[in-house]
Amino acid sequence: MSLADDVHLLRRSVGLSRPRAAVVRVTGDGAVPALDRLLPCDVWLRDGQVKPTVLLASDGTVEADVLLACDGDDWLLSADGIDPDALIALLGDADVEDLSATHAQLAIDGPFAWALLGAWDEAGAIGLPYLTFYQQDDVRVTRAGRTGEFGYHLLVPTARADALGTELLALGERFGARWVSPAALAYCALENGFLDLPSLGGARLDPRELQLQWRIVRGKHCRGADGLAARASSRRTTAFRSVTEVAVGSRVACEGRDIGEVLVVAPDVGGPGFLGLLLLDRDFAVAGIDAFTVGGMPICTVSIPMVRNRSLYVRPQRHTWADEAALPLPYPR
């Protein structure tokens, strides 16, 4: 299947994938102090609550995309962009168990992801609030995702993962569910403004530059805080669309003045043209401007999300798969 096929599936129905984040359980009296020293967010969550944050490198740039979950007296830390061993080393003296070594991860994303999950576990899935989790036997189900659609992340004992994947695929047959590629998930993250570090091509950017200030507490003392405070952060990412193809690294101009560069670009799955992210001087980092140029060709800065997610219009309490054809689609069929 092509990238476009996978993206259409994620935007129309439901796709399955196998994430590979580092996942650790942090326990004991040292857990909260260790997490508080490490993370730039407040470490105060209700039992069952999940909070998106980031891991900062010593220079204040974003090193990993993180989800922190409170499970009674324990904490689960899921980090995309860092190895489990490196993550464990950062937690110092806290009691840490590497769940990546004993568990596999499955993800279900799409406007009807809740329907597929409900077919597997009706009682638990329906009505699960965003950024919360529950335990179904030995499977942890977290409602979170990076596509802008309904999304669920399953943490499964490794020995059971293949069978569960096969079971979900069978249950999802009537929704057209199948495995989708990491590239399709990265594309959906781009359209919806979710952090996808590999897409940034090694660019080291801080939360202010990435429009992720909501994931940190300004001025909190933690790993990377001093580096962040020392950074000028004079630039900011801004989404764009263009009719003509542009290359990553190309300079962006405003009336002949260099104002930034193209950071990420991809062919638009929803139609002709291209879309992506620019890294612009803050004075110019605004949406709704169609007079900037790249290589002399006009581009248009736009708001995120760059797609009308079907999930905005799906109501699990009212809709079923039988309503699918009547619900709006973000791209032409």
Partner 1 sequence: MVGCAVPEPTPSPVHAAVARRAALVRELAEILVHTLRLRIAPDEIDPDAPLFGAGLQLDSIDSVEIVVAIEEAFRITLVDRQDGDPAVLRTLNTLADRLDETRR
- Residues that bind partner 1 in the complex, under the rule CB under 8 A: 52, 130-131, 193, 208, 211-214, 218, 236, 239, 254-255, 283-284, 286-289, 291-292, 303-305, 308, 312-313
DSSP per position, 22-53: EEEEEESTTHHHHHHHH-SS-----TTBEEEE
Least distance (Å) from partner 1 to the CB of residue 258?
14
The two structure tokens encoding residue 96: 């840490």
Least distance (Å) from partner 1 to the CB of residue 312?
5
Least distance (Å) from partner 1 to the CB of residue 114?
15
In the complex with partner 1, which residue's Cβ is closer, 102 or 234?
234
In the complex with partner 1, which residue's Cβ is closer, 123 or 232?
232
Q: Which of 73, 66, 69, 72 is nearest to 22 (CA)?
A: 66
In the complex with partner 1, which residue's Cβ is closer, 83 or 283?
283
Residue 174: partners with Cβ closer than 8 Å, 6 or more residues away: 321
C-alpha 3, offset from chain centre: 18
Q: Which is it for strands 257-267 and 62-71: parallel, antiparallel or unpaired?
A: unpaired
Least distance (Å) from partner 1 to the CB of residue 315?
11
In the complex with partner 1, which residue's Cβ is closer, 161 or 285?
285
In the complex with partner 1, which residue's Cβ is closer, 248 or 289?
289
Among all chains, which residue has been given the structure tokens 């309490």? Answer: 317
DSSP per position, 53-65: EEEE-TTS-EEEE
306, 260 in Cβ contact below 8 A?
Answer: no
In the complex with partner 1, which residue's Cβ is closer, 49 or 181?
49
In the complex with partner 1, which residue's Cβ is closer, 179 or 214?
214
Least distance (Å) from partner 1 to the CB of residue 218?
6
Alpha helices (runs of H) in the chain, residue ranges in sequence order: 3-12, 31-38, 84-90, 113-120, 122-125, 158-171, 182-192, 225-230
Least distance (Å) from partner 1 to the CB of residue 72?
22
Residue 55, burial from CB neighbour count under 10 angstroms (0-12, 13-18, 19+): buried
Least distance (Å) from partner 1 to the CB of residue 193?
5
Q: Which of 66, 57, 304 is nearest to 203 (CA)?
A: 57
Least distance (Å) from partner 1 to the CB of residue 173?
30
Q: Can you tell me the distance from the alpha carbon of 204 to that of 58, in angstroms, rounded to the nearest whole number?
A: 11
3-state secondary structure of 109: strand
What is the number of other CB atoms lying within 10 angstroms of the CB of residue 235? Answer: 22
In the complex with partner 1, which residue's Cβ is closer, 179 or 313?
313
**Secondary structure tally for the chain: helices H, strands E:** 8, 17
Among all chains, which residue has been given the structure tokens 């499977």? Answer: 139
In the complex with partner 1, which residue's Cβ is closer, 81 or 172?
81
Least distance (Å) from partner 1 to the CB of residue 303?
4
